[in-house]
Amino acid sequence: MKRGRKPTIDAADITRAAIAVADAEGLAAVSMARVAQEMGNATMALYRHVKSKDELLTLMADAAFDEPPALPDGEWRDKLGAWARAMLGGIRRRPWFLQIPMSGPPTGPKSLAWFDSALGALEGTPLEAGEKVGVVMGLMTFVHGEAWLSVALTKGFENDPAQFSREYGQRLREIVDPRRMPALAKIVAAGVFDVDDLFDADDVAADFDFGLHLFLEGVATHIGGRA
């Protein structure tokens, strides 16, 4: 009995297989050889469709997210807030996304769709085109930074819960010199870190909401000045 020909593959198939590897084993496990193994193909077969691992990572970064969600009715602030929370949720579902080097502005179809969605939220404001881009890029930077911090803290807590306990406050009392770090010394003296558990998922979410509120308030003040 003759073996049938292996089904043809394309870049989208390779990207999906690479994402499956990253979801299961982390981004460090992704290589052209490992993805080929996942697909049951020869490694060289992949290079006919994807030139390099760098190109594969770029494809993965774009495909990591779902399409942007429909934004709620209401003012621009509600829409951008929903957009930011949706992006944060997407990154948290695939934290390996944060490890992919960013080599340039978005060019992938999904990345551009998210960009368009956020820009659309600002329609009807008096902002100029360049200002809208600046707002969206600033919000994206905030979300990515918050996502990186929450993922890193979660991993750190899972590896060593003790460092997120009262021990941290005790260490700060030992090493923070009020003459060199007066502002931090006041926070330590106020007992902010004297709690049994410094890490709480609800607190992380509250910190994100507070930071998002401050960012949007700043945009609102700028829009008020433009109006």
Total domains in the fold of the chain: 2
d(CA 141, CA 118) in angstroms, rounded, equals: 13
Nearest-angstrom CA–CA distance, 99 and 82: 24
User: Quick one: 35 and 85 in the same domain?
Assistant: no
20 and 58 together in one domain: yes
Please count the other Cβ atoms lying within 10 Å of the Cβ belonging to residue 75. 13
Range(s) of the domain holding residue 39: 11-63
Same domain assignment for residues 58 and 33: yes
Residue 201 domain-assigned? Answer: yes
Please give the pLDDT value at position 156.
75
Asked if residue 56 belongs to a domain, the reply is: yes
Residue 203's pLDDT is 73
Same domain flag for 108 and 215: yes
Shared-domain flag, residues 36 and 122: no
Residue 59 amino acid letter: L
Confidence (pTM): 0.83
Q: Is 124 left (phi over 0), alpha (psi -120 to 50) or beta?
A: left
CATH code of residue 217: 1.10.357.10
56 close to 50: Cβ distance less than 8 angstroms = yes
| Domain co-membership, 149 together with 45 | no
CA distance 69 to 117: 9
Residue 61 has a CB neighbour count (10 Å cut-off) of 22
Compute how many other C-beta atoms are within 10 angstroms of the C-beta atom of residue 211: 16
Q: Which residues contact 130 (CB under 8 A, 6 or more apart)?
A: none
Under 8 Å between Cβ of 50 and 59: yes
Q: Assess if residue 183 is contained within a domain.
A: no
C-alpha span between 212 and 93 (Å, rounded)? 20
Q: Quote the Cα angle for 40-55-43, to 5°.
A: 25
Q: Specify whether 37 is located in the same domain as 133.
A: no
Is residue 46 situated within a structural domain? yes
Rounded to 5 degrees, φ, ψ at 9 are: -125, 165
In Å, how far from its chain's centre is CA 20?
18
Cα torsion angle, 6, 11, 14, 20, sign: negative
CATH of the domain at 22: 1.10.10.60
Q: At what angle do helices 201-226 and 129-159 cross, to 10 degrees?
A: 170
Q: Say whether 220 sits in a helix, a strand or coil.
A: helix
User: According to the model, what pLDDT value does residue 143 have?
Assistant: 95
The answer to the question of residue 143 being in a domain is: yes
Residue that finishes a domain, picked among 63, 87, 103 = 63
* Below-50 pLDDT ranges, the chain: 1-2, 4
Q: Kindly state whether residues 55 and 89 are assigned to the same domain.
A: no
**Residue 211 in domain:** yes
